[in-house]
A and B are shown apart, each in its own frame.
Chain A
């Protein structure tokens, strides 16, 4: 058996698992998206074909476009913040000479272990208008004189969801950046120091260029995840106030699982969402990742 055949055979179980767990639901959702599917039809398996009707109804729905707009804003805010914070924190915990950085390195991982829905509920208490810790702390520090309705004000609600989301997912980005930092040869910094480069120059001329690849990877992954944010929305705002926090995944969920349970349109909205993520990933790969790896 040739090495290529052997490699193929070894990959077959994985391929079968992926086909069953990933490909089948994806293909089935595509099938549903071009059929008229309610609860009864889904149980009986008898669907009426309705072509692109679900997609056209979706694209005509102003609420869908509001959800897309909110999703884009949420993604820009969270991904940008995560990258900036991840680099900053990774640089801090990379200081091996400081013993506290070892403790911090462990503690920084804790938010990642919090289930998303629990994270949302914790922040709901923090944000509570009259009784929340956040308002109490800010009031005690003299930063605010009246309580702020963080999650209930349409101007702040989306950001109020973004903060817990960043808090929960930031450790993932920190771990990646920290790992990349450890791969940068120390000699580069030593040579730069001999040449008289200050800390800022070392960061902009050595660290940042060496982190570009990992930043591109974080961009792709975090964008894909931010596009599908759901749990924090469910726990903190349920899309409100008004439509201020209706995001794409919340839209798909409501269309699908709230009566009249339009599974066809829900599948169509998921496909459109997936297509958007695909386009974003392509843009990153085409314009960011390739440029930094060449």
Chain B
């Protein structure tokens, strides 16, 4: 009986140990980058009644993360949510009015300005900050680190890609998508001539910081040019790649080949993806990669599944950027604001990059963390909408937008971008030539500096 009992106990012990081993292994496997006992899991010593964040809208991610924060830490989180374009004015108004703002977010274009104006708290001395920074992708490092100090954690990262409508290409009996700008024109002219598409190309040329400017930056960079050199001198003079690119671009509009969709001048990244999903265009010009999750979503697009991703012509060079979350200097408690910031741009209490992973799975957004970019969250999360290896291949050829247009680090970049939007739209609508546009922009640099 004793032997029996011992044998049973031994077997049971083995089963328990084996079971524990299996649980442990599966935990390690599922939480490849999760460490539940890190600083993210340590409760702050101080107390707060509530916290808040001021962000721009994206589905219901903020409702979910606020609830999760309250469930984990017992602190309610108020959210102020506006549209992407209205976010900087909203944040500015709240800050100027003396309101408490714990955490907010920024595009890479506004961020240097917010830092310069004293809105952003440095993060270097906070627990776990160095570990986060060590996991940043190259773009994220360039955005989140200002003057050598860590100022933010990543919201998402994106790379500029081309899209094409495969069924329309088949209808045109063209066996493969364009691989050069000449081929692009050739395909579009044929599509128009054959009556397959009145406006074969949709550009992202709506007014914005990285919409219309981003399209010009991307094509200029792809053709080997930049907007400013390392010393900050403009590269827009006669014969410059930026100027020649603009000439080529403007020629696709009404006064030239008339192959560009006039809606181009109004669309932003998501509205552009929705418009492309209507199936009226053959190509969609370089734009944020995650537009595919709209074009290839059957609920939003009649041509879902037929929109393919494509790298840029030539050597495939493209641009990328990352958006960030940050703690504002108007926070009510830095320790708790850091805790909240991590829920948005870092790890949750369980040591997971929960927000980054769900953004990848739900919205096809890229992450500012290398470990997330290398994980299954991207490989399986993005798969329903696009060719993941192809996108990651494009990703590897991406340079941060600041390398193409280094003025984004300067406070005068904003007023200059206002002028850039105006002048380039005038050029694309045939009101002025590309030469006049670039000359005006060169002159505008000094004007923009005076406005700051």
Contact = CB atoms under 8 A, between A and B. Distances in A.
B232 interface: no
Interface string A40-77: 10110000000000000100010100000000000000
Nearest to B448: A260
A255 B418 CA distance: 10
Given A61-B447, A130-B280, A257 B422 contact: no
Contact of A39 (B117, B199, B266): B117
A263 B117 contact: no
A255 B95 CA distance: 17
A40 B422 contact: no
Interface in A8-42: 38-40, 42
A149 interface: yes
Given A39-B95, A239-B207, A246-B422, A260 B429 contact: no
A254 interface: yes
Contacts, number: 107
Nearest to A151: B266
A194 interface: no
Contact of B262 (A39, A131, A149, A260): A149
B92 interface: yes
The B interface is mostly helix, strand or loop, or mixed, namely helix
A94 interface: no
Contacts of A259: 88, 92, 110, 113-114, 117, 411, 414
A265 interface: yes
Interface string B76-90: 000000000100110
A169 to B, nearest CB: 24
A3 interface: no
B353 to A, nearest CB: 29
Residue from B93, B266, B447 having most chain A Cβ neighbours under 10 A: B266
A270 interface: no
B423 interface: yes
Contacts of A128: 263
A153 interface: yes
B452 A260 contact: yes
Contact of A258 (B88, B96, B423): B88
B415 interface: yes
Residue from A131, A154, A238, A240 having most chain B Cβ neighbours under 10 A: A240
B426 A130 contact: no
A129 B117 CA distance: 40
Interface string B259-286: 0011101100000000100101000000
A39 B92 contact: yes
B92 A40 contact: no
B418 A39 contact: no
A63 B411 contact: no
Given A130-B263, A243-B426, A254-B418, A265 B207 contact: no
A116 interface: no
Given A43-B96, A153-B429, A241-B425, A129 B418 contact: no
B117 A261 contact: yes
Contacts of A78: none
A262 interface: yes
B421 interface: yes
B208 to A, nearest CB: 9
Contact of B426 (A63, A129, A242): A242
Given A39-B95, A240-B421, A260 B431 contact: no
A130 B267 CA distance: 13
Given A240-B265, A260-B415, A154 B431 contact: yes
Contacts of A63: 418-419, 422
A43 B266 contact: no
Given A39-B95, A254-B418, A260-B412, 17 more contacts: A39-B117, A43-B98, A63-B422, A129-B261, A130-B261, A238-B85, A240-B206, A240-B422, A242-B423, A242-B425, A242-B426, A255-B451, A258-B89, A259-B110, A260-B452, A261-B117, A262-B451
**Top 6 closest pairs, chain A to chain B, by CB:** A257-B89, A242-B426, A259-B113, A42-B96, A40-B118, A242-B425
Interface of B: 85, 88-89, 92-93, 95-96, 98, 110, 113-114, 116-119, 199, 206-207, 261-263, 265-266, 275, 278, 280, 330, 411-412, 414-415, 418-419, 421-423, 425-426, 428-429, 431, 447, 450-452
28 contacts: A39-B92, A40-B117, A40-B118, A43-B96, A57-B451, A63-B418, A129-B262, A130-B261, A152-B265, A152-B429, A153-B262, A240-B265, A241-B425, A241-B426, A241-B428, A242-B423, A255-B451, A257-B93, A258-B88, A259-B88, A259-B92, A259-B110, A259-B113, A259-B117, A259-B411, A260-B117, A260-B414, A261-B113
Interface of A: 38-40, 42-43, 57, 61, 63, 128-131, 149, 151-154, 238-243, 246, 253-255, 257-263, 265
